[in-house]
Amino acid sequence: MIPWLLLLPLPIPVVAGAVDKTFGVRPDLVSKYTSLKSGNWKCLDGSKEIPWAYVNDDSCDCPDGSDEPGTGACPDTYFFCRNVGHIGASIPSSRVKDGLCEPECCDGSDERPGVCKNVCKEIGEEYRQKRDAERKIQKTGSKIRSSYITFAHKEKKRLEALIQSTAQEIESQEKEVARLKDIADRTESLSKAALEHKKQSPLYRSLLEHSNAIKSLQREHKKHLEREKALGEILDTLRTGYNPNYQDMAVLEAVRGWEELAGLPHINDVNKASSDSDDLGEDEGDEENKEETTEDVLDDGMWSAGKLDLELDILVASDYVSLLLEHEDHIRTPAEEGSILFDLTSYLPDNLIPQYEDFKDTLVSWLSKFGIIRAADDSSAADSSHATQAHNAAQRELQKLKTENKKAGDDLAELFNIHGFGAEGEWKKLDNTCLKKDTGDYTYEVCMFGEARQIPNKGGSTFSLGKFDSWNPSEDVKPGEPAYYQKQVFKHGTRCWNGPERNVVLLLTCGTENALLTVAELEKCEYQFTGTTPALCLPLDDNNSKDEL
């Protein structure tokens, strides 16, 4: 009877019991998959006990599904692929034994034996090579980042020293300003009447009138320049964007007129002009020389455009009171200063000089009353002007010191601000560092914490793509986190033709160089740049960088 019984097939539960109970279990939970002394097993949520044989039997018995880690019997659970030779991964249990080889399970353990090939060795080797290359870049970049941090700390010491030194200079200069103000006040009280009388002169009034006229012209000129720039940008956008095939003569005439006025080649001839740049001939050169000659031919005393830009503000800011007093000194007759009456002391014996000085003072007083010579108030007015000028110069120096001190304080406050240069000041070194990318027709430039620009390579206007507005504004990212510094936002660039303002998002990753890699216009006037920088290369953490294999 016994040999016959041995020929019978084993019950299914015995076969099921041969399945590894820890199959599909995460390494940190393996210790929980052991049988109790009673021969039962407690569900991980503690809700009930089931026979140990029910674990991984392809039947869901626990409310939390923890009894089926290696099958897809329970919903909303996860299966762990050990992936020996690579990195372990979890997938939803619903994808176990579905006949598809999941890329996360390179060992093929999510399917029945023989369905999926174990490729963990090859994938693991490829992954490790890529990881080692990235770690090498990160290690090199982190050293450069450390130099950025060192720069920030040196900058901190420099700013602290500057704040201290300027504070001392401010204290000393305030005393000097007070001293000079006292002198100016006392001098002014002696000569105010004389100075007010001089201000009534036609010359002084004419100077003021001319000054106001120049200021008004300068203001209107700046308005016209701003309007001309805006119109130029609109016309240049029209020039580069219109379709000549439509034969809209009004648009074509506007484009041709703008090109002639701005000295630009016709947009359709730009490429041809570029290829023939070596054969420009004498005509174009003559035209350039002609323009230069036209600008150089000026009437005597007239100012060039360059001089107007550089010196007009200085002229407008002239001190006309001082000029008036200097004019008075200039027209003073030689007899008043160089006559023998005032130089006679050089020829008199020393014992006669006191009597001569008394006589001279009396004579000068009488001559002044009769209007024969100028009153002594003139010298008082000049002294007052000089005292006032000295006081004003001291005040300007004091204001300069205060401005310098305030700026140093503001820069120090921003140096380690997480919303600015980072908690370690690692971004200060890159303040206004410009990255460029040549795409053929345009060169794109983005200056860190500054402005992004689109620069044409074949003539035309440069457009602003926006100025630095913020780091990563996403609500999911906290300021100071690494992800916060992986995105810079530039806003309020030049408005597109019949469109919005140009904006840029700069996406950054760790790299050994500060470089701009790609430029893309995702939507109209919305640009996305990608780049690398050592400022994002955090030091390697050996404890956290070891991958589980």
Domains of the chain as residue ranges with CATH:
8-118 (no CATH), 428-546 (2.70.130.10)
Cβ-contact 303, 202 below 8 angstroms = no
DSSP letter assigned to residue 396? H
Instruction: Provide the angle, in degrees to the nearest 10, between the axes of the packed helices 249-262 and 202-241.
Output: 130
Is it the case that residue 262 has pLDDT exceeding 90? no
In 3D space, the residue among 249, 224, 255, 253 whose CA is nearest the CA of residue 237 turns out to be 255
Structure confidence by residue, pLDDT tens digits, 179-194? 888 877 776 665 666 6
Quote the CA–CA distance of 47 and 63 in Å, as a whole number: 7
DSSP 289-309: HHHHHHHH---TTPPPHHHHH
- Alpha carbons within 13 angstroms on the beta-carbon side of residue 382 total 11
- Alpha carbons within 13 angstroms on the beta-carbon side of residue 171 total 5
- Alpha carbons within 13 angstroms on the beta-carbon side of residue 353 total 9
Quote the CA–CA distance of 529 and 520 in Å, as a whole number: 6
C-alpha distance from residue 222 to each of 226, 229, 308, 495 (Å): 6, 11, 12, 21
Quote the CA–CA distance of 40 and 51 in Å, as a whole number: 4
C-alpha distance from residue 106 to each of 23, 429, 546 (Å): 16, 44, 19
Confidence bin at 289 (pLDDT 50/70/90): very low
Structure confidence by residue, pLDDT tens digits, 83-115? 998 999 999 998 998 889 999 999 999 888 889
In 3D space, the residue among 400, 398, 428, 401 whose CA is nearest the CA of residue 413 turns out to be 428
Cβ-contact 131, 547 below 8 angstroms = yes
Torsion of CA 209, 213, 218, 220, to 10 degrees: 150
Q: What is the pTM of this model?
A: 0.54
Query: What pLDDT is recorded for position 209?
Result: 82
Query: What pLDDT is recorded for position 155?
Result: 93
**At 31, phi and psi to the nearest 5?**
-65, -20
Query: What pLDDT is recorded for position 14?
Result: 37
Confidence bin at 31 (pLDDT 50/70/90): very high
Query: What pLDDT is recorded for position 454?
Result: 94
Residue count of the chain, please give it: 549
Is it the case that residue 449 has pLDDT exceeding 80? yes
Quote the CA–CA distance of 168 and 166 in Å, as a whole number: 5
Is it the case that residue 231 has pLDDT exceeding 90? no
Q: Which residue has the tokens 């095939």?
A: 245
494 Cα distance to chain centroid: 17
Between 436 and 231, the higher pLDDT residue: 436
Structure confidence by residue, pLDDT tens digits, 112-150? 888 999 999 999 999 999 999 999 999 999 999 999 999
Between 296 and 132, the higher pLDDT residue: 132
Is it the case that residue 545 has pLDDT exceeding 90? no
Quote the CA–CA distance of 541 and 476 in Å, as a whole number: 24
Quote the CA–CA distance of 97 and 113 in Å, as a whole number: 10
In 3D space, the residue among 431, 462, 429, 463 whose CA is nearest the CA of residue 447 turns out to be 431
Query: What pLDDT is recorded for position 230?
Result: 80
Query: What pLDDT is recorded for position 369?
Result: 59
Between 427 and 275, the higher pLDDT residue: 427
Query: What pLDDT is recorded for position 404?
Result: 93
User: Judging by beta carbons within 10 Å of its beta carbon (0-12, 13-18, 19+), is residue 472 exposed, middle or buried?
Assistant: buried
Structure confidence by residue, pLDDT tens digits, 318-363? 777 767 666 666 665 454 444 554 456 556 665 565 666 667 667 7
Q: Select the highest-mean-pLDDT range: 14-18, 68-72, 196-200.
A: 68-72
Average pLDDT over residues 450-467: 92
